[in-house]
Amino acid sequence: MTTDREAVVWTCIGMRPVKMGRVYVTERECRFTYTEDYLLTGLPGLGLIYPPEIVQTTTIVRQRTEFFDLLPPLQSLIPPRREKNFQRQLILSDLARRGIVPAAGFDADWEILKIAGHGGMGHLDFFENDREAIEWYSRPAELHLRPIPEGFGLSLKDFLTWFDTDSEALLRIIGPTPTIGGAIPKLLVSIPDTGWDGRIGFPRKIGTQGVTDAILKFEQTGTYPGIIELEGLALDLHEEAGFEVPRRWQTEIKGIPTLVIERFDRNAGGNPLFMETLYSIFACGDLSITHHYSGSYDAIGRAIDRSPIPLVLDRRAAKIHLLKRLLLSFATGNGDLHLENLSILSRDGTLAFSPVYDPTPMRAYSIHDMLAVMPFGNYGEVHFEEALVRFTRNLGFRKKELLRIIEEVLDVTRDYPERIEALKQLPGKNKKNLTGIVETLRNDLQEIR
Ligand SMILES: Nc1ncnc2c1ncn2[C@@H]1O[C@H](COP(=O)(O)OP(=O)(O)OP(=O)(O)O)[C@@H](O)[C@H]1O
Ligand SMILES: [Mg+2]
């Protein structure tokens, strides 16, 4: 015996809050319908593959599976079901404090969404009903920036009392995204427009000037010692390679290495921009996508070229971006360029890959040491060089293009091994792992003629 569930989706993508549509979840299906008023706004919809101007008021219906209880853009708002997920744990313990102990699985997901499905990454805000939505938007975020207090120790309790406020208010600042709180706890905050100066505030809700939305990524030194400076170095390399990379600051909060990264899913005025991960986009269109590493890099290229609903404005530029990102991920020892680490962002009405995020050289840690999470050019059946050439051809480029990008990537990573050696927190054995891997890869790339 089950009861259908219902909820609503709102968005501030058009400067002020507006209801986008209604969600119903039955035992077997997830259903979503745009409201007529939303269609009149001409604004982007739930996801790229569900454009309001085509879908209109026809209900989008998807069978629930073990991988997706909800339409993928909504599923993306739920923190992953891993037991150690910080954000999940935080919300569940807050619920428990209020006497709500949902069954594990979708019951818990739904309760979490009701509390934390709004105010996070991207442009979708999920609420239990319209009343909750209106109430939430009408409570302006407190934008006072404060220095981080002395006793801030990053425990759950500290987080709950952090802004000297009730935990519900606090939950608003801990972002509900698929991966926020993935391996590393993160906090959504605002910082001064002029950059990090040690003070933080709540993230902006709706249009405010003077502050900038940012993410704090904290190091979990036990599992990934040195990861923050490593991510910092990888972001620098991507910028040097010509990619757009958000402003960022490396700092320490109570001795914990922390990366402060400006958010690119908000405009200067604080309004959300349309953003969707490739995972969500592909899962909407293809039921065989069940994990963030389903498919292949070749399939991403194919989708860029052939999707009946355009994923990007400039297809060639997007495919070059993909090829170069993959090559740089090899040369930096990343290995983890999966579908959730690639997103499409709409700026000034133009769809393109978002700025770079999460390019961390995970191969420095032996449990993550693999060349690539997804296949490319039948690598494995054919050797590295041949696979790269095939992948390049599948993207519709000549080998000459591959050689040109390899040249750029080798140039930008020229002194990478020395820069790894110069890191202060990464343990010696991780440095050795990573430099070894990188030297081998550089040699392999160099041999491609
Ligand atoms: N600067 C940014 N602006 C806007 N959105 C961002 C930014 N950085 C990350 N995101 C979004 O937040 C999500 C989580 O960030 P990120 O990938 O850096 O962390 P993570 O996946 O939890 O880290 P890890 O892979 O180590 O577990 C991303 O999938 C992306 O959608
Ligand atoms: Mg990630």
pLDDT of 171 higher than 70: no
DSSP assignment letter at 165: S
From the list 398, 368, 371, the residue with the least C-alpha distance to 384 is: 371
Angle (deg, nearest 10), helices 227-240 and 315-332: 140
For ligand 1, the distance from its centroid to the CA atom of residue 215, given in whole angstroms, is 9
Per-residue confidence (pLDDT) for residue 151, from 0 to 100: 53
For ligand 2, the distance from its centroid to the CA atom of residue 253, given in whole angstroms, is 22
DSSP assignment letter at 342: -
Per-residue confidence (pLDDT) for residue 204, from 0 to 100: 82
Average pLDDT of the segment spanning 140-154: 64
Average pLDDT of the segment spanning 380-392: 97
Per-residue confidence (pLDDT) for residue 176, from 0 to 100: 44
Domains belonging to the chain, first-starting first, are 5-77+117-138 (no CATH), 146-262 (no CATH), 275-446 (1.10.1070)
DSSP assignment letter at 142: P
pLDDT in tens, 6-50: 999 999 999 899 999 999 999 999 999 999 999 999 999 999 999
**Least trusted range by pLDDT, from 206-220, 270-284, 288-302, 388-402:** 206-220
Pocket test for ligand 1, best of 230, 358, 363 (most atoms within 8 A of CB): 358
The number of the ligand 1 atom at minimal distance from the alpha carbon of 263 is 3
Per-residue confidence (pLDDT) for residue 386, from 0 to 100: 97
Q: Is 19 within 8 Å of 133 (Cβ atoms)? A: yes
For ligand 2, the distance from its centroid to the CA atom of residue 150, given in whole angstroms, is 30
Average pLDDT of the segment spanning 122-151: 83
Ligand 1, CB within 6 Å, residue ranges: 121, 177, 179-180, 182-184, 215, 246, 261, 263-265, 277, 340-341, 343, 357-358, 360
Average pLDDT, the chain: 89
**Amino acid in position 384:** F
Per-residue confidence (pLDDT) for residue 156, from 0 to 100: 46
pLDDT of 162 higher than 60: no
Helices within 42-150 (DSSP H only)? 52-55, 72-75, 86-97, 106-116, 130-138
Residue nearest to atom 2 of ligand 1 (CA): 263
pTM exceeds 0.75, yes or no: yes
